[in-house]
Structure 1
Amino acid sequence: MKKLLSLLILLTCSVTAFSQGNNYEQNYKKYEGLALTPPMGWNSWNKFACNVDENLIKEVADAMVASGMKDAGYTYINIDDCWHGERDSLGFIHPDPKRFPSGMKALADYIHAKGLKFGIYSDAGSQTCGGRPGSRGYEFQDAQMYASWGVDYLKYDWCNTEGLKAEGAYKTMTAALQKAGRPVVLSICEWGNDKPWEWGQTVGHLWRTTGDIYNCFDCIEDHGTWQSWGVMQILDKQEGLRQYAGPGHWNDPDMLEVGNGMPANEDRAHFTMWSMIAAPLIAGNDLRSMSKETTDILTNKEVIAVNQDKLGIQGFKYASKDSLETWFKPLDGGKWAVVFLNRSKQPQKVEFDWKNTPVTDELSKRELNASKTTYKLRNLWTKKDVGNTKKAFKAEVPAHDVVMLLLSSK
């Protein structure tokens, strides 16, 4: 009898443990069907850092519509660090009541009513980079709050993460978002330290490949224990990563600095190269007071179309000589984007013989062979047709600037 009783207890415990195991099983895979092209939007950090409040965010949302950026494809209004207030007695996070007195749900409703989407920021550590409450230990509660507010995008940072392993920490937040039940784009922001391109495809929709950008074309800003990188430095750090990018999973070289102090030629080159490497186009300037030059750069639909091409193939550097680089990007429908990037401080002449220079991309198994197919040429910044590939292309590329062409056979 004792043996039978012991057996029944053992079976009961086993069934209970098994059922609990099923109840607590986690889904560590991101929401599918999101970010099938590189995300486009705006983030508060590059221009405003911690100086954020609900009036600013509403005004930026208004400006995104009024400026034509929404019509050009920009979708997300993302609040970065420092929106946080305190956690309540149950551990749920709330926004700073002075900065966001109406609450995040009301702000999300305002943004959604304009046909835009709402993004927010948190951190895998105990505190955010700005010293606000991080999500470590509160991932599932935070995800529930975000879902209740109507959040569509989460930038998840990597400050104050002592002892954590990046892949596991980001999988925890992915599971929390899945449990909350609202599809959210997850932006992995651990600065490329743990090679997120190797494990991030199933966990998030984009991952930072480097440390922070800052508004300089070709320089490094030294903070002592860490560094910020200029546009060209970050571009160089994308070498060897293109095979990891594609629909729903993107290399993220950080947000745009267009409109934050660089001259128009450098902004144009910056925007062009981010478009060529299929980078997320997340503006970081003050949309309320843009110059016409800045607006024209950010809303050039022909350049944006290169970035948003449905094949999602990241462009590649084909050649480099005397600070003049030649880049190619295969596009849908047999088209190609070609950029001549002048990294020097002097104008550079370019001459490219299409018919005698076939280009093969081993990654995408695509070939540009002008000896077999004649392509029409269109300059995407002047928005003018400039001949075809029957004869060599000649141009002068201004200092710190680009010439960007679309090649199409139809």
Structure 2
Amino acid sequence: MRNILCLLLCLFALTAVAQKQKNLALTPPMGWNSWNKFACDVDEKLIRETADAMVASGMRDAGYQYIVIDDCWHGERDSLGFIHPDPKRFPSGMKALADYVHAKGLKFGIYSDAGWKTCGGRPGSRGREFQDAQTYASWGVDYLKYDWCNTEGLKAEGAYMTMRDALAASGRPIVLSICEWGDNQPWEWAQDVGHLWRTTGDIYNCWDCVYDHGTWKSWGVMQILDKQDGLRKYAGPGHWNDPDMMEVGNGMRTNEDRAHFAMWSMLAAPLIAGNDLRNMSRETREILTNKEVIAINQDSLGIQGFKYSDQDSLEVWFKPLANGDWAMCVLNRKSTPQQLSFDWSKHAVTDTIFNRQLETSQTRYKLRDVWAKKASGTTAKTLKAEVPAHDVLMLRLSSSKPAKKAAKS
């Protein structure tokens, strides 16, 4: 019976008009993924405890939704080709686990691969896309991270379109996270295929380094940040650039974690935590649950921020927000503190791609430091501050009243 159902779904998909599932990920997805901290060491106890921790820590109330199991959950396929979870690691089954996550007011995510095998050597979805999508839907899956290992002979766009159509045919709304590492320029074709797409290879928990694995590389936070240049025009509600999951809480210094989280928020990037939520320091929890920073990431305009200036590794970034607000982030990439002096009267900040302009000559903006959570003056005066090493100054600008015109000489 299940085989017949799968065949009918495949026939339906071939005759249906192919399109991405709509009204999903209208703001960057927020959640947690197992890979960065646990890699293949996953089981149902970890996932249940992580769901509990997401609630207890305040992360759910801050906006985090998805609990995503990455690679290595797989067992074998049965005689009809249906995938099953590893019975030792997930003895209760995925449906029971999804029900547990849903009962916490959260959503459930899973991982597969477009190739014959996943990156961890488990069964991939190649040739079984519609069957797997139907299985995921029956389990209650809400999010699919779809990887790109062991894909010899496949074209990325076509492979991801196949899974897109399979998810649509499943009858369940499922976010599709494209993970082919930016190798095939997904920003140019993925807007109508997935809801987010990786722009780089894997992230690594260091400030500015490259970790060479021999046949591939992982990239530090600053390395990943630099690879986003030129991509902002492709992002928006329902289709996001994804600079990979976060390393906040995985070994960097608190100031570096804060800068990492701030820049991912400025990028309108998915905020997918990758640490052990069960054992967070107070500092890590406060970074991940800062609602004022999250509000900048989740802004309804969905516009990715841009680098306005860069002088001696002191970068000034801006991000247009709804209702005429703006976010400003000053990033100090150096290992020593730097002094900032920003005279608003001498800077015309224009977003030429999305046709937005910060009119400080016409309007006075109130400044709010979103990390200190306090007012920080207005644009009537030059902004002066010391930005600590490997850290940020992050402000929200809200219009207050028209600026006074300069007196005639």
TM range (shorter): over 0.9
Pick closer, same or farther for the CA change 1:219–1:370 going to 2, 3 Å.
Answer: same
Q: Give 1:221's match in structure 2, choosing from 201, 205, 211.
A: 211
2:6 corresponds in structure 1 to none
1:50 corresponds in structure 2 to 40
Residues 1:346 and 2:336 aligned together: yes
1:202 corresponds in structure 2 to 192
2:312 corresponds in structure 1 to 322
Q: For 1:218-257, what aligned pairs fall within 5 Å after superposition?
A: 218-257=208-247
Secondary structure class of the residue paired with 1:24: helix
2:50 corresponds in structure 1 to 60
Question: For the Cα contact (< 8 Å) 2:148–2:179, is it kept in 1?
Answer: yes
Question: For the Cα contact (< 8 Å) 2:247–2:274, is it kept in 1?
Answer: yes
Pick closer, same or farther for the CA change 1:377–1:70 going to 2, 3 Å.
Answer: same
Distance 1:347 1:39 in 2: 33
Pick closer, same or farther for the CA change 1:34–1:344 going to 2, 3 Å.
Answer: same
Residues 1:370 and 2:360 aligned together: yes
Question: For the Cα contact (< 8 Å) 1:127–1:134, is it kept in 2?
Answer: yes
Query: CA offsets, 1:98-125, max 9 Å, x none?
Result: 0000000000000000100000000000
Pick closer, same or farther for the CA change 1:297–1:238 going to 2, 3 Å.
Answer: same
Q: For 1:19-30, what aligned pairs fall within 5 Å after superposition?
A: 24-30=14-20
Distance 2:19 2:219 in 1: 31
1:297 corresponds in structure 2 to 287
Distance 2:198 2:18 in 1: 19
Distance 2:243 2:273 in 1: 13
RMSD: 1.1
What amino acid is aligned across from residue 366 of structure 2 in structure 1? K
TM-fit CA distance, 1:356: 2.1
TM-fit CA distance, 1:28: 3.1
What amino acid is aligned across from residue 193 of structure 1 in structure 2? D
Question: For the Cα contact (< 8 Å) 1:211–1:227, is it kept in 2?
Answer: yes
Residues 1:105 and 2:95 aligned together: yes
Distance 2:24 2:321 in 1: 20
Secondary structure class of the residue paired with 2:364: coil
Length, aligned pairs only: 391
Q: Give 1:124's match in structure 2, choosing from 114, 120, 127.
A: 114
Q: Give 1:69's match in structure 2, choosing from 59, 81, 93.
A: 59
Distance 2:310 2:231 in 1: 18
Q: Give 1:158's match in structure 2, choosing from 148, 159, 181.
A: 148
Question: For the Cα contact (< 8 Å) 1:28–1:203, is it kept in 2?
Answer: no
Residues 1:355 and 2:345 aligned together: yes
What amino acid is aligned across from residue 335 of structure 1 in structure 2? D
Residues 1:389 and 2:369 aligned together: no
Secondary structure class of the residue paired with 2:51: helix
Query: CA offsets, 1:163-186, max 9 Å, x none?
Result: 000000000001111111111000
Which ranges of structure 1 fall in alignment gaps of 5 or more residues?
1-19
Question: For the Cα contact (< 8 Å) 1:355–1:369, is it kept in 2?
Answer: no
What amino acid is aligned across from residue 217 of structure 1 in structure 2? W
Q: Give 1:310's match in structure 2, choosing from 285, 290, 300.
A: 300
1:173 corresponds in structure 2 to 163
Question: For the Cα contact (< 8 Å) 1:119–1:152, is it kept in 2?
Answer: yes
2:391 corresponds in structure 1 to 401
TM-fit CA distance, 1:363: 1.1
Residues 1:333 and 2:326 aligned together: no
Secondary structure class of the residue paired with 2:363: coil
Secondary structure class of the residue paired with 1:278: coil
2:72 corresponds in structure 1 to 82
TM-fit CA distance, 1:364: 1.4
Which ranges of structure 2 fall in alignment gaps of 5 or more residues?
1-9, 401-409
Distance 1:355 1:322 in 2: 22
TM-fit CA distance, 1:29: 1.7
Query: CA offsets, 1:114-149, max 9 Å, x none?
Result: 100000000000000000000001101100100000
2:123 corresponds in structure 1 to 133
Pick closer, same or farther for the CA change 1:147–1:22 going to 2, 3 Å.
Answer: closer
Distance 1:76 1:31 in 2: 17
Q: For 1:252-263, what aligned pairs fall within 5 Å after superposition?
A: 252-263=242-253
What amino acid is aligned across from residue 94 of structure 2 in structure 1? M
For normalisation by structure 1, the TM-score amounts to 0.94
TM-fit CA distance, 1:157: 0.1
TM-fit CA distance, 1:23: 7.4
